[in-house]
Amino acid sequence: MNISVMTVSFPLDGETLKEVTLLCEEATVHDYRVYETALGVPMAGSFETKGFMVLAYEDDKDVLVGVASAVDLMGLHTYEWSLVVTPTYRQKGIGTTLVEALQAGLQERGAEGQLAVVIDGSPFGHTFIENKGFTYSFSEATLETRAESVKLSKDVEITPYAGEQAELIAIYSEAFGDLPEESEELIAFNTSTNGRKLWLARKDGEVVGTVTTAQENEIQWVTALAVHPNCEGQGIGTAMLSFSKDYASKIGAKFVMLDVEIDNGKALSVYEKAGFMKAQQIDYYVKH
């Protein structure tokens, strides 16, 4: 068995994207785990996404048998990466070959940091990544619910961001502990990236919360949801989630999804009360 490996920067061409999608679908059916999102496949065809894929082909059959994908989500030279090998070609050293080529690709691109992503319950995933010198860091749950028309709260007004930078930086600082420059980078990313919209929640005229929506085909992602600590327990988070479901239905999305750290019990409770259910868990690993 001869394996050829090639590294391709985003955006991928349509034919390659189709090959990667088919491989992910085959692995998903076999493992009952969704690989497309972890690999960033929906973003791989975009000129706006910074990243690359390592593709492993079996030469004799000219078929794609493994793929590793690294994405710089925030454009800050920190990459999240994951890989999958088609079920019939596992435990043949292809995963190791992919990791070696991916590490070379990260070095060539001047990566300043990396997180290895493993879907909880995926065959061999955790053992494999630990054997490559990575250590468990934290876990996130992906939650989902259906997009639907919702009767919105009259007490909380939600409007698009229109330059209220000082108020937003204060919320990010209080809710996330972000430095002002980190908040400015996040605001710039969420207001300049196609498909992403930054929203502010007001109560009695004051900015009390924020949420960002990001469209990805039939899925609308909810991210960077924050409520000012002085205003917690007033239904503001719930109002923003209801708004997100309603907005998703208006733009034609079918599902609303979000990621939350497993140990954030307070946030998990809010999301579950809003009708979100756990779809899968992602575990993150860092290099020794």
The domain boundary residue, chosen from 99, 132, 165: 132
CATH number at residue 259: 3.40.630.30
Is 287 part of a structural domain of the chain? no
Do 120 and 15 share a structural domain? yes
The three-state secondary structure class of 124 is coil
Same domain, 91 and 127: yes
Residue 47: what pLDDT?
86
Looking at the chain, the whole-number percentage of residues with pLDDT higher than 70 is 100
| One domain, residues 104 and 194 | no
Q: Does some domain include residue 285?
A: no
Residues 122 and 242 in one domain: no
Asked if 116 and 15 sit in the same domain, the reply is: yes
pLDDT at residue 5, as a whole number: 97
State which residues form the domain around 218: 144-280
Q: Residue 40: inside a domain, yes or no?
A: yes
Asked whether residue 124 falls in the same domain as residue 149, the answer is no
**What is the band of 48 on the pLDDT scale with cuts at 50, 70, 90?**
confident
**Is the pLDDT confidence value at 75 over 80?**
no
Q: Please say if the pLDDT value at position 288 is more than 80.
A: no
The answer as to whether 286 is a domain residue is no
Give tens-digit pLDDT for 135-180: 999 999 999 999 999 998 889 999 999 999 999 999 999 988 989 9
Q: pLDDT at position 248, please?
A: 97
- Asked if residue 158 lies in contact with residue 243, where contact means CB atoms within 8 angstroms, the answer is yes
Q: How far is CA 198 from CA 69, 112, 193, in A?
A: 27, 27, 10
Residues 101 and 74 in one domain: yes
Same-domain status, 42 and 22: yes
Q: What is the mean pLDDT of residues 268-281?
A: 92
Side chain identity, residue 90: R
Q: Is residue 183 part of a domain?
A: yes
Looking at the fold, whether 44 and 159 belong to one and the same domain comes out as no
> Per-residue pLDDT tens for 258-267?
999 999 888 8
pLDDT band at 46 (very low <50, low <70, confident <90, very high): confident
Please report the pLDDT score of residue 123 as a whole number: 85
What pLDDT band is residue 37 in, cutting at 50, 70 and 90? Answer: confident
Map residue 117 onto helix, strand or coil.
strand
Number of domains the chain is built from: 2
**Burial state string for 231-259 with b = 16 or more CB within 10 A and e = fewer than 16:** beebbbbbbbbbbbbbbbbeeebebbbbe
Q: Single out the residue in 106, 132, 158 at which a domain terminates.
A: 132
* 33 in any annotated domain: yes
Structural domain contains residue 138: no
Flag whether pLDDT at 121 surpasses 80. yes
Domain co-membership, 70 together with 148: no
- Distance separating alpha carbons of residues 165 and 170, to the nearest angstrom: 9
- Whether residue 222 sits in one domain with residue 112: no
What is the residue-wise DSSP string for 25-73? HHHHHHHS---HHHHTGGGTT-TT-EEEEEEEEETTTTEEEEEEEEEET
**Domain edge (last residue) among 132, 157, 185:** 132
Question: Per the domain annotation, does 104 fall within a domain?
Answer: yes
Residues 69 and 183 in one domain: no
Averaged confidence pLDDT in the chain: 94
Cα separations (Å) of 114 from 197, 220, 228, 284?
26, 26, 30, 10
pLDDT exceeds 90 at position 41:
yes
Tell me the pLDDT tens digit for each residue of 189-238.
999 988 999 999 999 999 999 999 999 889 999 999 999 999 999 999 99
